[in-house]
Amino acid sequence: MSTRQTSASQAQFSYMRAHARTLSTCADYARYDAQKAAWIAQHPDATPAEYQTAVRAIAKNCGV
């Protein structure tokens, strides 16, 4: 019986860890989208090169 409980506990722990990782990833992308939208609004006349540089910096900052 203890083997079953251990197995169930391990499965639940694995699920919770994966769920937390998913939430973290989604939060990173949401933050990235928000920062990118803010940058675009603040720099409407940016060149494609400036945009690309900014997007890369934002992605790095957000861990995306």
Mean pLDDT (whole number) for 38-62:
96
- Where do the domains of the chain lie? 24-64
Which SS3 state, helix, strand or coil, does residue 63 take? coil
Instruction: Determine the pLDDT at residue 62.
Output: 87
Mean pLDDT (whole number) for 22-51:
89
Tens-place pLDDT, residues 1-27: 555 567 767 776 666 666 565 656 678
Instruction: Determine the pLDDT at residue 16.
Output: 65
Instruction: Determine the pLDDT at residue 9.
Output: 76
